[in-house]
Structure 1
Amino acid sequence: MLDARRDTSRDALFAWIAAGAILTTILVANFAPARGVVPAHQPAALSPAEDPACREWTDSCRVCTRGTDGVHCSTPGFACQREALRCTRR
């Protein structure tokens, strides 16, 4: 009977240690300073879709054109591999 009590106490100790390690990981991930974050005072670069000077842009799947009546985009293919947006005509 004494051996069974030791086994459960060992399991409980392991559970507490694991819970502490998980909690520590979560806290560090949430409160550690992030690297590579753009400060709020720097303006973000405009994507081609937000740049009024860009008349046509693509992500290698579809082509979007800005006209006088708004933005029109083509339909992408079903097996398309998107890339970063880039302006193709100004």
Structure 2
Amino acid sequence: MAELRPDRSRDAAFAWIAAAATLATILVAHVAPARGPAPQPIALSPAEDPGCREWTDSCRVCTRDADGVHCSTPGFACQREALRCSAR
């Protein structure tokens, strides 16, 4: 069996050290708590906003009352837009 030259074993040791350091860095990055600004609350869509009584997407109108949510039927050639609250 051939013996390894001393410089090859040293190179292998450095490769293992580099791999271990890389793995440790990745693990610490995933385990350490995030240090940034506090997350901002996600804006609610009008359908999820309890203060919005009526909303539309320019195709149908939805209303919220004591019985729940009721939406109209969209027209034949409707082109939807972003939801927006039309009555609070």
Specify the TM-score bucket, using the shorter chain as the normaliser. 0.5 to 0.7
How many pairs are equivalent? 52
Q: Does 2:45 align with 1:68?
A: no
1:59 partner letter: D
Q: How far off is 1:40 after superposition?
A: 8.6
CA distance in 2, matches of 1:83, 1:40: 31
Residue 46 of structure 1 corresponds to which residue in structure 2? 44
Q: TM-score w.r.t. structure 1 length? A: 0.54
CA distance in 1, matches of 2:86, 2:70: 15
Structure 1 stretches (4+) deviating beyond 2 angstroms?
39-42
Q: TM-score w.r.t. structure 2 length? A: 0.55
Which structure 2 residue ranges, 5 or more long, are not aligned? 1-36
CA distance in 1, matches of 2:61, 2:53: 11
The secondary structure found in structure 2 opposite 1:81 is coil
Q: How far off is 1:41 after superposition?
A: 2.4
Over the matched positions of the two proteins, sequence identity in percent amounts to 87
RMSD (CA atoms)? 1.6
